[in-house]
DNA sequence: CTGAAAGCGCTTACAG
DNA sequence: CTGAAAGCGCTTACAG
């Protein structure tokens, strides 16, 4: 069996309380004793027992905040599913999670929610932040006040967050390029429709796609890069005009949301099956179009992971003083076709 | 906070020991008391605290056996990696795992290893069983003696195992068919090379492929189904003769091992890049050929999951009396190209 | 700066 | 058939 605090205490000739103080840096201990205990613990390879620690700390439970723009965005359904799985595993460890789903990207709204959570209070925060200076300032403030923050799904700079969990957007775009070569002829025409070039993730996907195309053996004629703001009505219009103006487009690369609108335009123009499509995420509407043969490939980035992993990391950081090993926890970049979903 | 045994004991007017006896069916308790306690626990929504249970049962630790034909098969490296991740999480719960890797499919050898593990003794067994009646009889015997068994990677019938964790082989084949339509022309010629038609998994992949091809819009001319017994020297010869006899083959579907030998044959015949290839697993040699452009797609089936999931299930069964929810825990069927690995 | 004691929620002998 | 006590490995006041 493994080493316990009691064993260390016996060998060091001190009480368990003192060993606990040393090992958890609680202060108030003679430097000499401290060194001796540390040395012994080190030598014996002490590792705290997590089950015991969880039990003992049950009197001051841990509350985590979780803020995502999930309203009206079915992508987040699976994120929340993953979150709940992890939450179930941690109930016995005294962990509870306050979930706040918001609609869209209103900075004031997000700020209010953060404020509300702080006042509960919470011990840590997981958030899909809006990329805005006000938010990054707020998150930095949290960290400074001892409330660690992990970003999920999208990241933000200058916020001093512990780490980021989410897609490797650039790789997602590169993967789309890797698949595109099977869909079009050499020198074939491709249209790109993305959400917003103001969004870092959307830009990275387009960059990854274009860079990888350049590296590959086939030539692609990109006829245009249009934005649809993840809106199905806008995407419908954008796709319709793009396809009308360029009737010889062989494939579309949809780098963000709006697939449903685009597919409706494709149906309207009677290009279904002929025009090839690569898009993102495995949400119900995309599944439907894939089964219908309108969408060839959809690339997904493990939404469940984006829910459970940050919880695991934040708990380990708070209770077991485990620093995240990496700054970026990237999800797998998964390729889906009708046959493997 | 949640309900505890103590609370139930107080309400029922009995000791915690008695509540424990009732809730864990240890017997020796007055039927009347039993009903009362059960009713109260039910009504209050009692759920045992796992951290506490883990701590309390630490005096009788749990030892699990893990038997896989990993020697000389790098596929299992990731299975064992996943296993170790879960093992790390469970050390504090008093769980240790005895790993036995064996080479190939020698029934006597596997039987000996099982016997050795029983004598340690172990509390549960995870195994990639050889599909042989002697083995299934042995595994059934284990279950009857209170040592639950979970199969991983490949299954066996009439063995009374708790459940199976591993690939959906049929779906893997169907997925290959879904990809094939992007690689060949209508009515294109395809060769199939599998491991052994005696292996259920290998047969299922071929079946899945053929069935799905029939369902799809394109026609495929399958020029032959050959076995290579997962051996690279055999697969080299098989591929060479198949490709020489059918110089107009457009693509190969490799349903099991032997990809390295086949790729060497393709290089030898100077068909690299021209001939399309779909294979299985994301082992180092396949990665290499994918980067070289010899392999187009490889389908992998989450080897890490095949390592960690059975451990989680078996532990929960043994300590928390949680029956597996399903008979088959299938892995994701993942599509890989050079860009997303 | 340090120790002794109590407690987290459960299980396990032991005594009756 | 049942209860009282001890213990799993840790943390937390409290007293000095």
Regions in chain A scoring below 50 on pLDDT: none
Residues of chain A with a CB closer than 8 angstroms to some CB in chain B:
1-2, 49-52, 54-55, 58, 61, 91-93, 171, 174-175, 177-179, 182-183, 212, 296, 299, 332-340
Nearest CA in chain A to B167: A340
Q: Which of residues 218-277 of A touch strand D (CB under 7 A)?
A: none
Q: CA-to-CA distance for B248 and B234, rounded, in angstroms?
A: 22
Find chain A residues with C-beta within 8 A of B173's C-beta: none
User: Is B83 a residue whose pLDDT tops 80?
Assistant: yes
Rg of chain B over all Cα atoms, to the nearest angstrom: 25
Any strand D atom closer than 7 Å to A49 CB: yes
- Supply the pLDDT for residue B28: 85
pLDDT tens sequence across A182-228: 999 999 999 999 998 888 899 999 999 999 999 998 899 999 999 99
pLDDT tens sequence across B224-283: 999 998 999 999 999 999 999 999 999 999 999 999 999 999 999 999 889 999 999 999
How close does chain A come to B176, measured CA to CA in Å? 8
Q: A339 vs B171: CB contact, 8 Å cut-off?
A: yes
Q: CA-to-CA distance for B275 and B241, rounded, in angstroms?
A: 15
Q: HSE (CB half, 13 Å, CA atoms) of A177?
A: 27
Which tokens hold the place of B190? Answer: 């395809």
Find chain A residues with C-beta within 8 A of B212's C-beta: 339
User: From the CA of A38, how many Å to the C1' of C1?
Assistant: 17
Three-state secondary structure readout of chain A = CCCCHHHHHHHHCCCHHHHHHHHCCCCCCCHHHHHHHHHHHHHHCCCCCHHHHHHHHHHCCEEEEEEECCCCCCHHHHHHHHHHHHHHHHHHHCEEEEEEECCCCCHHHHHHHHHHHHCCCCCEEEECCCCCHHHHHHHHHHHHCCCCEEEECCCCCCCCCCEEEECCHHHHHHHHHHHHCCCCCCCEEEEEEECCCCCHHHHHHHHHHHHHHHHCCCCEEEEEEEECCCCHHHHHHHHHHHHHHCCCEEEEEECCCCHHHHHHHHHHCCCECCEEEEEECCCHHHHHHHHCCCCCEEEECCHHHHHHHHHHHHHHHHHHCCCCCCCEEECCCEEECCCCC
Find chain B residues with C-beta within 8 A of A54's C-beta: 51
Q: Which of residues 57-96 of A touch strand D (CB under 7 A)?
A: 57, 59-60
pLDDT tens sequence across B90-102: 998 989 999 999 9
Nearest CA in chain A to B212: A339
Residues of chain B with a CB closer than 8 angstroms to some CB in chain A:
1-2, 49-52, 54-55, 58, 61, 91-93, 171, 174-175, 177-179, 182-183, 212, 296, 299, 332-340
Q: Which one is predicted more confidently, B217 or B126?
A: B126
User: From the CA of A59, how many Å to the C1' of D12?
Assistant: 10
Q: A182 vs B182: CB contact, 8 Å cut-off?
A: yes
Number of Cβ atoms within 10 Å of the Cβ of B124 = 25
pTM of structure: 0.92
User: Is B59 a residue whose pLDDT tops 80?
Assistant: no
- Supply the pLDDT for residue A182: 96
Which tokens hold the place of B333? Answer: 């069927």
Nearest to B55 among A55, A175, A334 (CB): A55
- Supply the pLDDT for residue A1: 63
- Supply the pLDDT for residue A72: 83
How close does chain A come to B38, measured CA to CA in Å? 21
């Amino acid at each position: 069996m493994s080493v316990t605090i009691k064993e260390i205490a016996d060998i060091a000739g001190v009480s368990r309380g003192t060993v606990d103080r040393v090992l958890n840096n609680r202060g108030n201990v003679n430097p000499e004793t401290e060194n001796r205990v540390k040395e012994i613990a080190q030598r014996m390879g002490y590792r705290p027992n997590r089950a015991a620690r969880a039990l003992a700390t049950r009197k001051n439970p841990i509350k985590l905040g979780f803020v995502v723009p999930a309203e009206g965005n079915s992508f987040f359904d699976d994120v929340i599913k993953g979150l709940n799985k992890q939450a179930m595993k941690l109930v016995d460890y005294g962990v509870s999670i306050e979930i706040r789903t918001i609609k869209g990207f209103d900075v004031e709204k997000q700020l209010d929610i953060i404020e509300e959570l702080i006042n509960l209070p919470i011990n840590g925060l997981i958030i899909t932040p809006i990329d805005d200076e006000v938010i990054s300032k707020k998150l930095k403030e949290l960290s400074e006040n001892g409330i660690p923050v992990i970003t999920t799904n999208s990241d933000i700079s200058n916020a001093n967050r512990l780490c980021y969990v989410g897609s490797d957007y650039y790789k997602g775009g590169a993967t789309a390029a890797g698949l595109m070569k099977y869909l079009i002829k050499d020198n074939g025409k491709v249209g790109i429709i993305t959400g917003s070039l103001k969004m870092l993730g959307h830009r990275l996907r387009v960059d990854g796609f274009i860079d990888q195309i350049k590296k590959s053996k086939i030539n692609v004629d990109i006829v245009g890069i249009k934005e649809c703001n993840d809106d199905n009505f806008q995407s419908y219009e954008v796709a319709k005009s793009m396809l009308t103006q360029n009737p010889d487009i062989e494939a579309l690369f949809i780098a963000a949301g709006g697939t449903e609108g685009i597919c409706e335009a494709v149906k309207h123009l009677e290009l279904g099956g002929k025009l090839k499509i690569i898009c993102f995420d495995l949400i119900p509407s995309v599944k439907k179009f894939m089964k219908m043969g309108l969408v060839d490939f959809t690339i997904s980035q493990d939404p469940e992971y984006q829910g459970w992993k940050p919880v695991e990391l934040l708990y380990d950081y708070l209770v077991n003083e485990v620093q995240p090993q990496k700054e970026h926890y990237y999800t797998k970049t998964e390729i889906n076709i009708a046959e493997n979903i």
